[in-house]
Structure formats: structure tokens, C-alpha cells
């Protein structure tokens, strides 16, 4: 942790090396407030290096770089530093698909048998739009080793059952975007990478890179770190999903190139207005509950719509279409994720209608929880939900959940209990928070409370996310037996185990 503090403090000194405003479309006061806010985020969340840009009315209003791209080399981040953006890559892929739609080479309603032979019956009705919107129901390729050949992987996927009826719901799935890359190659004769470079980056590879290998050493690319809570330090990530992952998580880009791409998108050089409007509209899921666009996620902020996506808890790209504001966040690691928190808070500082309301910032709530100021945090959270009635605040609640897990690992059960109780009180219908509370009760030997919360978590986890219900059922059976034995001991009866 001392190392984190050291490089944060060093780079607070360096922070004023940021690029100046392109145009004075935000005030100097706001500019300084953003700097102060981002310094705080960097320190609170243990971020080694990051780069942030805000585009207003087509002009770069803010462009800043912070921290280090390599802790080992003590190399500073600048606007030409290349970052992995992981799943935010899907914005590039979705744009490529709509370019082909505009060219008349594919249609969103086209079904998979048009492009692939020998598909099983349950795959026959899957359309391109189902791949884009994660409504296919196809099994996820992440279940299998990335070293498999395409032929081997297809065989394994064909043997799997569908996750749900096609079109019924949203379920994030890497198979969808791998298939989109194969379709692009089928209809263009170019690899996915060749097509993207030629159609979206004017054939330049300067400041952009396709690689899903975090260990690849390449000039100007920031090292991707994850935080090892056991060792209490950032260590180099070893993630590598191979070439197959390019269309889903393989894009690497500098802040300058991301800004330039956004300008081409805004100027209708990549897509026409009709295509963009389609991307930035909700897909009609059968369950009438899920909310996602055609490759772009929908993120309301206090009733103001924004569209974009995030990647690896490290990167976020978000467009407030009606307000003509785009916010870009790139980073190379964290102790606690900050990407969506930053985007939402910056929107409240930039968009005049939001700025004038002086809305609650998510980062302030995170800090209050971190500082154990739970009553303040509860009041702030209540106000945040009043201001944003349609928002789930996934990043914030996951952040808080991570803090509780950290306290468990550090053998601080009382601190963990307070954090999990707060998360349940503020997110009473979220099964993950309730499962976290069950876990800390189990650690403390309070088996009755643990049992009740595990059972409630199972009831709320309707879609059996991550197949986690089996683990919780096993916990229920295990704790039921332990509790029964305690009762036997209390009455002087021989235990069962």
C-alpha cells in the first residue's frame, strides 16, 4: 500500500502537466474541480495510471493524463499511452456490423445459417441482432480453453444446451462477438482486424492495437495490473484470451486515438445518423425487463440518457447524445474499480442541467463507506436513488461489496459486517449483497443468520447468475448440519459429526 501512496503522491505533483483546454467551453473553475476530483479518485481507488477526456459540442474540453503506465519503469502516462479497453471493444465491433448493414452486405435480421454450415437446431433462429444485444441464449465460449481450434470449440458449443430462449433476455456472452467477427470475415474477405483498421481508423495502426494478451510487450502500451489483496500490491495481469477474443475484448487504444474515433463517429464518417440512432435504442427483449442497445449499453444518469460500454473495470466510453457530451476514461489497474463512478460524476460536473442541481456524487458515498461514516453514506445513498430512480449503481455496490470482501481477507470481521449490512440496507433486493452478509455471519459462527441470508440470496438469484445457487445450496446444507450439531451439544446429545 505504501508503494501506491508513493506513486500517487508523485503524480499529484505531475498532474498539472495535463493538456490545456481546446476551447473554453467549460469554466476554469470546473476544470480545477475535475482535476481535484480525479486526484481523489486515483488515490481512493489505488489507480496506477489513467487518462481522461471530455468532449463537449464536438470539441475537446478536457484532456488529462495521470500516474504511471508502468510501475516497474516509473513511466508516466500521456495522451499517447495505449490502454487495453477489454469489453469496451464491443463498441468497435458493433460499429463494424452497422457499417456492413449500411453497405447492404448483411441485415440485422439475418440468421446464423446464412453464414455457418452444420449448426444444431437450437442455433437456427439466432439472428445478428441477437448477437449484438446478447439475447442469443448461446452457451458462452469462456467455459472452454482458448487454446482450442475453432472447429474444436464449435463442437463443444454445439453439445451445450442453450442458456435461454433466443430473444428472451440479456446475458453477457463472449460467443456472440466471436461469431460477429467470423461473419465480418465471411462477408468481406478480410480478417476482423483488417476490416476495422480500414473502415474505422483510415488504415492507420498508430495509437491502436489489437491484442488480448496482457503480457505482450509493445511500445507505449500501459501495463495492465490487478491488485493482489494477499500481497497488498499491484501485480502484472496475465490475462490472454487469444485472437478469438479480439472482437470482444482485444482492442487497445490511446486517448488521442479514442478522441479521434469519436470525432469521426460524431461527424457521420463512420456511420450515418440512422445507424447511430438504431445502435442507441433499446432492443425489445421478450422479458420486457432488460435494457440494452445494439452493442451499446444504456446508462441513465438522473433521467439523462447515455450510451456506451465499459471494459475490465478499467475503461469506459460514454456518450450523452442529447447533450452532445462524450466522456472517456482509460486506466491500467485499480484496488477498487472506479470507471462508471467517474463517468457518472463527471457528467454531473459538466452537463449544465445536471451541474445546477448539485447532485450527489457516487465517489463521495464510496469515500464515506470507506471511512466508516455509515449514517452519512446511507443518507447520501437515499438521495442518490431519489435523483436517479432508474439506475442500479452496479459499479458502486460492487465496489462496496469488494471492500467487505477485503475486510474478510484481512480478518476484520466487524468491519466486514458493517460494510455488508450497509450494502444490504441500500440494495435490499440484490442477492450478491445478501450472500456477502451470509458469508460474514458464517465467518463469525452465527449460523442461523448465515442460513437465513443464504436462503434469501438463492430466492433472489432467479437467473442463477454464475451458477452460484448450487454453491449456496451446499452452504445451506453444510450450515444446517453445523447448527443441528450445536443444538445437540447444547442439550448434551451426541453430535452427528
Say if 6 falls within a structural domain: no
Q: Is 136 exposed, middle or buried (0-12, 13-18, 19+ CB in 10 A)?
A: buried
Q: Which three cell numbers stand for residue 494?
A: 451426541
Given a cut of 60, whether residue 495 has pLDDT beyond it is no
pLDDT at 465: 77
The verdict on residue 445 lying in a domain is: yes
Which is more confident, 274 or 488? 274
What integer pLDDT is reported at residue 494 of this predicted model? 46
Position 462 confidence tier, pLDDT thresholds 50, 70, 90: confident
Residue 105 scores a pLDDT above 90: yes
Tell me, yes or no, whether 33 lies in a domain.
no
pLDDT at 293 over 90: yes
DSSP element (H, E) containing 379: helix 374-387
b/e map 395-411, b = 16+ CB within 10 Å:
bbbbbbbbbbbbbbeee
Residue 430 lies inside a defined structural domain of this protein: yes
How many structural domains is the chain composed of?
A: 1
Q: Is the pLDDT of residue 191 over 70?
A: yes
For residue 393, give Cα distances in angstroms to 345, 390, 436: 12, 9, 17
Q: pLDDT band at residue 2, thresholds of 50, 70 and 90? A: very low
Any domain includes 166? no
The enclosing domain of 401 has a CATH number of: 1.25.40.10
- Whole-number average pLDDT of the chain: 90
Residues above pLDDT 70, as percent of the chain = 92
Tracing cell 480525479 back to the chain, one arrives at 38
Is 398 domain-assigned? Answer: yes
Q: Give the pLDDT confidence score for residue 18 in this predicted structure.
A: 43
Q: Does a structural domain hold residue 449?
A: yes
Q: Which residues are 55's β-sheet partners?
A: 60, 326
Model confidence at 466, pLDDT cuts 50, 70, 90, reads low
The answer to whether the CB of 377 falls within 8 A of the CB of 396 is: no
Q: What is the pLDDT of residue 6?
A: 43
Q: Which of 265-274, 449-458, 460-469 has the lowest mean pLDDT?
A: 460-469
- State mean pLDDT over 462-477: 81
Higher pLDDT pick, 19 / 37: 37
- Give the cell for residue 440: 460474514
- Per-residue model confidence as pLDDT tens digits over 384-427: 999 988 777 888 998 899 899 889 888 899 999 999 999 999 99
pLDDT digits (tens, 9 = 90+) for 23-55: 447 889 999 999 999 999 999 999 999 999 999
- Owner of C-alpha cell 490475462: 239
Candidate ranges 162-171, 230-239, 438-447; pick with highest mean pLDDT: 162-171
Specify the pairing of strand 315-320 against strand 325-331.
Answer: antiparallel
Q: Which domain holds residue 410?
A: 370-490
Task: Indicate whether 295 belongs to any domain.
Answer: no
Amino acid at each position: 500500500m505504501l508503494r501506491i501512496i508513493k506513486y500517487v503522491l508523485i503524480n499529484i505533483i505531475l498532474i498539472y502537466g495535463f493538456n490545456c483546454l481546446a476551447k473554453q467551453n467549460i469554466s476554469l473553475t470546473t476544470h480545477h474541480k475535475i482535476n481535484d476530483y480525479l486526484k481523489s479518485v486515483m488515490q481512493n481507488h489505488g489507480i496506477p495510471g489513467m487518462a481522461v477526456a471530455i468532449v463537449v459540442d464536438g470539441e475537446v474540453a478536457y484532456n488529462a493524463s495521470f500516474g504511471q503506465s508502468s510501475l516497474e519503469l516509473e513511466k508516466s502516462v500521456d495522451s499517447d499511452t495505449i490502454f487495453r479497453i477489454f469489453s469496451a471493444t464491443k463498441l468497435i465491433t458493433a460499429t463494424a456490423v452497422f457499417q456492413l448493414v449500411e453497405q447492404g452486405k448483411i441485415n440485422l435480421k439475418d440468421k446464423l445459417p446464412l453464414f455457418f454450415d452444420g449448426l444444431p437446431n437450437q442455433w437456427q433462429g439466432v439472428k445478428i441482432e441477437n448477437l449484438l444485444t446478447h439475447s442469443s441464449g448461446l452457451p458462452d465460449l469462456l467455459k472452454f480453453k482458448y487454446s482450442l481450434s475453432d472447429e474444436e470449440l464449435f463442437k463443444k458449443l454445439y453439445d451445450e444446451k442453450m442458456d435461454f430462449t433466443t430473444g428472451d433476455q440479456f446475458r453477457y456472452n463472449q460467443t456472440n462477438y466471436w461469431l460477429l467477427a467470423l461473419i465480418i470475415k465471411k462477408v468481406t474477405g478480410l480478417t476482423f482486424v483488417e476490416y476495422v483498421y480500414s473502415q474505422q481508423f483510415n488504415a492507420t495502426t498508430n495509437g491502436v492495437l489489437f491484442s488480448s494478451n496482457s503480457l505482450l510487450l509493445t511500445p507505449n502500451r500501459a501495463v495492465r495490473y490487478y491488485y493482489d489483496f494477499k500481497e497488498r500490491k499491484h501485480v502484472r495481469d496475465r490475462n490472454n484470451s487469444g485472437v478469438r477474443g479480439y472482437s470482444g475484448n482485444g482492442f487497445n487504444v490511446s486517448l488521442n486515438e479514442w478522441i479521434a474515433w469519436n470525432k469521426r463517429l460524431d461527424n457521420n464518417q463512420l456511420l450515418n445518423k440512422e445507424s447511430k440512432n438504431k445502435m442507441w435504442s433499446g432492443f425489445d427483449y421478450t422479458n420486457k425487463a432488460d435494457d440494452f442497445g445494439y452493442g451499446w449499453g444504456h446508462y441513465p444518469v438522473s433521467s439523462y440518457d447515455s450510451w456506451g460500454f465499459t471494459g475490465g473495470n478499467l475503461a469506459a466510453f460514454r456518450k450523452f447524445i442529447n447533450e452532445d457530451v462524450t466522456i472517456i476514461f482509460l486506466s491500467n489497474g485499480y484496488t477498487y474499480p472506479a470507471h462508471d463512478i467517474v463517468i457518472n460524476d463527471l457528467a454531473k460536473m459538466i452537463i449544465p442541467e445536471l451541474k445546477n442541481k448539485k447532485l450527489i456524487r457516487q465517489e463521495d458515498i464510496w469515500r464515506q463507506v470507506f471511512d466508516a461514516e455509515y449514517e452519512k453514506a446511507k443518507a447520501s445513498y437515499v438521495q442518490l436513488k431519489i435523483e436517479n430512480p432508474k439506475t442500479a449503481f452496479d459499479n458502486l455496490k460492487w465496489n462496496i461489496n469488494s471492500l467487505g470482501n477485503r475486510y474478510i481477507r484481512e480478518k476484520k470481521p466487524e468491519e466486514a459486517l458493517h460494510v455488508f449490512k450497509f450494502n444490504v440496507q441500500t440494495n435490499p433486493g440484490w442477492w450478491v449483497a445478501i450472500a456477502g452478509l451470509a458469508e460474514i455471519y458464517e465467518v463469525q459462527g452465527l449460523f442461523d443468520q448465515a442460513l437465513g441470508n443464504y436462503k434469501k440470496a438463492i430466492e433472489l438469484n432467479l437467473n442463477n447468475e454464475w451458477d452460484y445457487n448450487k454453491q449456496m445450496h451446499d452452504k445451506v446444507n453444510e450450515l444446517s448440519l453445523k447448527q443441528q450439531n450445536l443444538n445437540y451439544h447444547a442439550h448434551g446429545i451426541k453430535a452427528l459429526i
